[in-house]
Amino acid sequence: MSGEGSYFTEAVETMDRGDLDALIEERIRYTVNFASEHSPFYRQWFREHKIDAASIRSHEDLRELPIISGQTIREHQPPETSEFQFKSLDWREIFTLHETSGTSGTPKAFFLSWADWQRYAEKYAQIFVSQGFGPGDRVVVCASYGMNVGANTMTLAAQKIGMTIIPEGKCAFPLRIIHSYKPTGLVGSVFKLLRLARRLQVAHIRPPDSSVERLVVGGESFAEESRAYLAELWGCPVYNTYGSTEGTMCGECSELKGLHVPEDMVHLDVYDPHLADFVPEGECGRIVLTTLLPVGEKCGTLLLNYDTEDTTVVLSRDRCACGRTHLRIMTPQREAETFWVAETPFNRVDVERGVFQRENMEYLTGEYEAFLYGGDDMGETTMRVSVECFDPEKCDRNVVEEHFLKAFFQYKQRLAEAHAEGTFNLVFNFVGPQDLELYRVTGRPKRLVDRR
């Protein structure tokens, strides 16, 4: 399905820019006031800074409020403080609580009321419908249930649309699920869905011949090349979603021109790297989120100006060809997966782009890992890229290296110069199936690791 016509909540999704901006400002005022009255953290902040919550009236005024991070949340919850200072409702109104693990320290606690769940589910329902899902669809959710809200949110969203969810929680389900229930959609990560396609091929089933009509990926950023390859293997479109416990649920519509941000429920600002001010429209920066509450509603954990530590670019605030007016962003990337060599930043996704060059995929499974090492001389860096081959003996290593280098250095002139000068070395390591280090580590695989 493409073009205008199918919406979950048409009035909100297609609202004119002027009306949408007015709605956002109304909700900013209500939400900031709610925070100043119900969130212990903000109540204290407004008192200490002698700022009247009513003076925060617009999106620009949000710059008066502090930018908070996962670290701020951890510093304002047990064991650091006696109370959870971001918890904005009484326990009687908290339906579930979630711990989100950061890179270090105590997990952050996040509290959700039933109304929060309903709003989250509505956002996902909008996304599913924008991707062409509708009543009668059957979707296998391979994302894990539990402390992550994504899988449960999609399940609640399905109820609103009239879809059936098959809550597998992982992609390693028996192929019988595909044969027996003929799912029309799968939700998972790029790599999980690649592996599932290979399992079908081993069982002599061409994935395009299966019942699957759409794939939804999320949970991490990926290169356009890996998406294109996944779409080719399955013979169907692959839609990206970007969600987090903090309440971002952005998703690509069937036009695939960026991820729509549900602007009526979450306000997204893009800040410079020092988090001092907004970047000019169209420039890359840090995603800073503010929950927006409809007037009269409440929420369990209220975050204003929350630094996601992800980066993006606002692509457009104009009406999309799908008819939706909500702004569109580029696939966010994790700042924690960005590294610097020769004064040039590059992300794990840049490495992935090099791996997934179409010519390489004749030899590679797509699984890869890369490590950065310091060299013998000062200022020298070596990146060792390990790629998994179907058969290392039959892999044309020159083809893979050549296409990797071309793609990797395409937009990184300074890095290419460092490579030519010998201060940035690339070493390729071709391994057989299951021979990458990441297979021996539990948890989310780290594909680019700095060992300098």
Instruction: Name which of 129 and 400 has its Cβ closer to Zn ion.
Output: 129
Q: Where are the alpha helices (DSSP H) in 131-175?
A: 150-161
Restricted to residues 278-337, the positions that interact with Zn ion (CB under 5 A) are 320, 322, 324
Rounded to whole angstroms, how far apart are CA atoms 246 and 72? 14
Instruction: Name which of 323 and 345 has its Cβ closer to Zn ion.
Output: 323
Helix (H, G, I), strand (E, B) or coil at 381: strand
Backbone angles phi, psi at 217, to 5 degrees: -115, 155
One-character DSSP codes across 323-334: S--S-EEPPPEE
Q: How far is the CB of 324 from Zn ion (least distance, A)?
A: 5
Instruction: Name which of 308 and 325 has its Cβ closer to Zn ion.
Output: 325
Q: Is 21 left (phi over 0), alpha (psi -120 to 50) or beta?
A: alpha
Instruction: Name which of 267 and 324 has its Cβ closer to Zn ion.
Output: 324
Q: How far is the CB of 6 from Zn ion (least distance, A)?
A: 11
Helix (H, G, I), strand (E, B) or coil at 231: helix
What is the Cα gyration radius of the chain? 23
Q: Rounded to whole angstroms, what are the CA distances from 118 to 114, 121, 231?
A: 6, 5, 31
Query: Given candidates 253, 304, 361, 416, which one binds Zn ion under the rule CB under 5 A?
Result: 253
Interacting span for Zn ion (CB under 5 A) from 203-211, 231-239, 255-263, 358-366:
255-263
Amino acid occupying residue 61: D
Q: Where are the alpha helices (DSSP H) in 137-260?
A: 150-161, 176-181, 190-202, 224-234
Q: How far is the CB of 130 from Zn ion (least distance, A)?
A: 6
Q: How far is the CB of 325 from Zn ion (least distance, A)?
A: 9
Q: Rounded to whole angstroms, what are the CA distances from 374 to 268, 315, 339, 351, 380?
A: 38, 37, 13, 18, 6
Instruction: Name which of 6 and 245 has its Cβ closer to Zn ion.
Output: 6
Number of residues that bind Zn ion (CB under 5 A): 5
Instruction: Name which of 14 and 429 has its Cβ closer to Zn ion.
Output: 14
Interacting span for Zn ion (CB under 5 A) from 18-26, 103-111, 227-235, 245-253:
245-253
Interacting span for Zn ion (CB under 5 A) from 39-47, 96-104, 234-242, 249-257:
249-257
Residues ≥6 apart with Cβ < 8 Å to 179: none
Instruction: Name which of 1 and 228 has its Cβ closer to Zn ion.
Output: 1
Which token pair is 328? Answer: 């569109």
Look-up of token digits 């000019």: 280
Rounded to whole angstroms, how far apart are CA atoms 304 and 285? 18
Restricted to residues 181-240, the positions that interact with Zn ion (CB under 5 A) are none
Q: How far is the CB of 326 from Zn ion (least distance, A)?
A: 8
Q: How far is the CB of 250 from Zn ion (least distance, A)?
A: 11
Query: Given candidates 10, 25, 213, 255, which one binds Zn ion under the rule CB under 5 A?
Result: 255
Is 10 one of the binding residues for Zn ion (CB under 5 A)? no
Q: How far is the CB of 7 from Zn ion (least distance, A)?
A: 10
Instruction: Residue 45: count other Cβ atoms within 10 Å of its Cβ.
Output: 19
Which token pair is 440? Answer: 């021996």
Instruction: Name which of 215 and 253 has its Cβ closer to Zn ion.
Output: 253
Q: How far is the CB of 122 from Zn ion (least distance, A)?
A: 17
Instruction: Name which of 14 and 338 has its Cβ closer to Zn ion.
Output: 14
Which residues of this protein are in contact with Zn ion, per CB under 5 A? Answer: 253, 255, 320, 322, 324
